[in-house]
Structure 1
Amino acid sequence: MKEKLWTLKFITLILSTFMLFLGFQMLLPTLPVYVKDHGGDSTSVGLVIGMFTITALIIRPFAGSAADRMGRKPILLIGLLITVISIFSYIIVTTVLLLLLLRLVHGLGWGMSTTIYGTIASDIVPSDRRGEGMGYFGLSISIAMMVGPLLGIWIMNVFGFFILFLLSALFSIGSLLLSNFKIYDSKGNNPRPANTRPFLETLFDVKALFPSLLMLIIAITYGGIVSFITLFAEEKQLDNVGWFFFANALCLIIIRPIAGKIFDRKGHFLVLFPGGILGITALFYISYTNSPIDLIVSAILYGFSFGLIQPSLQAWTINRSSPEKRGAANGTFFSAFDLGIGIGAILLGAYANFTSYSSMYKLSAFIFVIYLLVYGVYIWVSKNKKTSNKSVKRTISS
């Protein structure tokens, strides 16, 4: 009999995560416009997005390690407080330089809180339903991705940036309040005995490195999407770019539970390989976009691609790690995600400055090809190892 998945802890965790990501997603398509309005170019936009992810990257391993040693709750609350204060501070920032500095601080809070939410999810979800459970957990993020950008763009256009930043901060406060309810697993929230492992081993989980590498590669393309799709649409004179985010997130919502069940029953190949093919197709399609319909079609393709890959890689990461290193494993995984977004935002933004957004998305499609090559090498090496081990066993037995 399967363990119960939909507990009060799990539902409250999903709601709390949704509130945090909703406030965050409202800023994704609007901050590039804010930077442009204050005299920034594509490189400046890339830096504002990229530097945020760099500080999140730096803090995640420490947050995951601290969560394993001190418990989940104190690290989560500190991260959420930093997030709330940072978003409120956007209201008084008027220059690109100050915004960049504030984004560095915001990245610390974001990195801490999202790492711990993912760790709490891995504590709560039954091990035999991990792919399915992490898929449903990811729905809270996907729904925020669907609603947040549309809401953010509408508020920006109708009420301006003051109200936008205020509401974003209020949603983060909602996440902070909900996080004080019963979302903590009794084991995961207890400080663990003193660890005798070297300090660096508590920060990263070696077993999480390969799926995290794949996530890093995919996240580079995601950095190009979230940083520049609004400006790309403006360049092409396409209205209502919010529908790109809506369609993309709707497809994430549809595919995540399906991907999770396939992962649990059949393994990672049947989700990670098709996801890569869809990603290549999506980014080439974006590069040739000339109409709102083209933009929505590309969003659908990219949504299915990302929805197949991201939750499956996270579940694979957790499956490869031991319970006492889940915080470190999640920190490793999300650090790779952040690093990829940062690389994508900064390098692809600089590339777009010298070429065009269309050329930039063609380059992003090639990055998906690299993902498939790396994953293909892993499959080939794994099969050869299994064959070699079987041969050795036959030789010993004979």
Structure 2
Amino acid sequence: MQLLEESRIKWLWYVANELIVSRRPSRREERGRRPVSPPAIRAVFRRQAEGSECMERLWTKSFMMLTASMLLLYTGFYSLLPVLPLHIEQMGATSWQIGAIVGMYTLSAVICRPYIGHLLDTNGRRKYMVLGIIFFAFFMISYSWTTSLIWLVILRVAHGASWGLASTALGTAITDCIPEDRKGEGMAWYGLSMTIAMATGPLLGAWMVKWHSVSALFLIAAMLSLLPLLTVRTLPSGQPNWRESSVSLVWSRSLKLTLLAVTLLAFSFGGVTTYMPLYLAEYGASASQFFMIYAATLSLARPLAGLLINRCGERFVIASSLAVVILSLFLLGLIGGAIVVGLSAAFYGLGFGMAQPALQTLVLHLTGKGKNGMANALFFTAFDTGIGVGSVALGLLSVTVNYGTLFIASGLVVLIGYLLFLGIVPKKVQI
């Protein structure tokens, strides 16, 4: 009985001790802080709900309408990709001349873009967007009236300048609609419109030439390019910030290396778009099949890139995607064949689809506030420079080597940009 009483006393002492320990003040209370009350918890959830509502404002009417306009404009542009090299060849141009004429377009845009970016930051977007679209559509339909290579070169220069004006103004207007905390995601969805255009544009061009004529293609492309004029009223009504736009751009080492990476990536893109139709003609295949696989994987890569940019940062996405691009180009040049061409198209679409929005987002961050026009101009200038130089340089190289070697050379160029980017651009960009 005494043993039972002692066990009961010990049990009661244990329970009392546990109650006392459980009522000891927490570390926050020991520091003099009050515990979080239920109203405070509700306030936190309310702020989170308000934050999620602000994040949903990415999909505004202006953002959706302007992104749709970009889709139409790029569809008209990309519809010429599988057709124009063959059309120039039928006019009597050699392989080197084809690359030079195609490259004149982008080189002309390169010269105009920096000045256009400054005008957009100081004078707004609306009037430059309207002028660019009108001239772009006019020069598009003018291809039907050109019969000599000299006039074709002049037309390509004028068309490239109008393209630089229209695409930079429209792209900057879309950038203005994207919230700062969702820049990576917004740029990825904005890039998805160009991805869909990459898929539908070449297919539209190939279909129009097969069942109608090249002149009909030029007319349809011009009409598609004019449709974005219907969305001009959806442009943001805010005026440019004169104080922010007047601050001179700081050319940091990270910005220079990022733009160089954009140029070297676009170098390979210029080679793929210019010489892929001629390369696949040797195997009896159509370029539309390559671009269809490429655009399908590109469409999957864009949303994934937006999530990875927000979680892992631009540097991680850029480095991994450039590695995939290099792999695809080496496979295309070293092995060849129908199956490998399809696999290379998938890899190239995956890598390019993730690299482009990450690079553009990084350029926007590195240029600073109030410089959206200049940031987009610098990005597209670097991109167009790569396409133009790639078309011309690979055209000169195509005189002595086959098309497979051209793609290996493109892979080596991207590899140089990959190594430079990893070695100099910091792991974490301060914004």
- TM-score, normalised to structure 1, is 0.90
Q: CA deviation at 1:113?
A: 1.2
Residue in 2 that maps onto 1:211: 258
Give the partner amino acid of 1:58.
I
Separation (CA, whole Å) in 2 of partners of 1:384 and 1:251: 28
Query: Bigger radius of gyration, 1 or 2?
Result: 2
Letter in 2 for 1:154: W
Provide the rounded CA distance (Å) in 2 between the counterparts of 1:290 and 1:385: 39
Distance in 2 of aligned mates of 1:161 and 1:205: 46
- The 5-angstrom pairing of residues 80-159 of structure 1 reads 80-159=133-212
CA distance in 2, matches of 1:385, 1:270: 11
The structural deviation recorded for 1:251 is 1.0
Matched, 1:311 2:364: no
Match in the other structure for 1:396: none
Q: CA deviation at 1:340?
A: 0.6
- Structure-2 separation of matches of 1:71 and 1:93: 34
Post-superposition Cα deviations, 1:378-397, rounded to whole Å, max 9, x if no partner, equal 14xx37999xxxxxxxxxxx
Please list the CA deviations of residues 175-219 of structure 1 after superposition, one character each: whole Å capped at 9, or x if unmatched.
2333x231x2232xx255489959xx4xx6625433222101101
The residue type equivalent to 1:277 in the other structure is A
| Unpaired segments ≥5 residues, structure 1 | 387-398
Q: How many residues align?
A: 375
Equivalent position SS for 1:206:
coil
In 2, Cα distance between equivalents of 1:282 and 1:290: 11
Q: Contact 1:263/1:271 (CA < 8 Å) preserved in 2?
A: yes
Structure 1 residues 21 and 297, CA gap change in structure 2 (3 angstroms): same
Pairwise CA distance, 1:297: 1.1
What one-letter code is carried by the residue in structure 2 that aligns with 1:209? K
Counterpart for residue 41 of structure 2: none
Contact kept in structure 2, 1:115 and 1:327, CA below 8 Å: yes
Which position in structure 1 is the counterpart of 2:347? 301
Are the equivalent residues in 2 in contact too, given 1:71–1:192 (CA < 8 A)? Answer: no
2:266–2:387: 8 Å Cα contact kept in structure 1?
yes
Matches within 5 A, 1:2-21: 2=52, 3=55, 4-21=57-74
Residue 115 (structure 2) pairs with residue 70 (structure 1): no
Mapped contact 1:48–1:100 kept (Cα < 8 A): yes
Q: Does 1:35 align with 2:81?
A: no
Change in Cα spacing, 1:331 to 1:359, as seen in structure 2 (3 Å) is same
CA distance in 2, matches of 1:58, 1:265: 36
CA contact (8 A) 1:54 1:339 kept: yes
- Which string of whole-angstrom CA distances, capped at 9 and with x for unpartnered residues, describes residues 115-168 of structure 1? 122211221011111111100001110000011101101211221211111111
2 CA distance for matches of 1:175 and 1:147? Answer: 17
Question: What is the rounded CA distance, in whole Å, between the counterparts of 2:384 and 2:133 in structure 1?
Answer: 18
With 206-215 and 257-266 compared, the bigger mean Cα shift is at 206-215
User: Which of 1 and 2 has higher RCO (CA within 8 Å, sep 6+)?
Assistant: 1
Q: Does 1:224 align with 2:271?
A: yes
Q: 2:416: which partner in 1? A: 370
Deviation by residue 1:73-130 (Cα, 9 ceiling, x = unmatched): 1111111111011001111011222111101000011001111222112210111111
Shift in alpha-carbon separation, 1:384–1:343, aligned structure 2, 3 A: same
Which residues in structure 2 correspond to 1:231-250 (within 5 Å)? 231-234=278-281, 236-250=282-296
**Distance in 2 (alpha carbons) for counterparts of 1:314 and 1:34:** 33
What is the RMSD computed on CA atoms of the aligned residues? Answer: 2.0
Letter matched to residue 256 of structure 2? L
Taking a change above 3 Å as real, the CA distance of residues 136 and 196 of structure 1, as seen in their structure-2 partners, is closer
Letter in 1 for 2:409: L
The percentage of aligned residue pairs carrying the same residue is 32
The answer to whether residue 317 in structure 2 is matched with residue 265 in structure 1 is no
Could you tell me whether the CA contact under 8 Å between 2:277 and 2:286 is conserved in 1? Answer: no
The one-letter amino acid of 2:394's match is: L
Give 2:302's aligned residue: 256
Q: TM-score when scaled to structure 2?
A: 0.83
The DSSP-based 3-state class of the residue aligned with 1:319 is helix
Stretches of 4+ moved more than 4 A in 1?
A: 194-198, 383-386
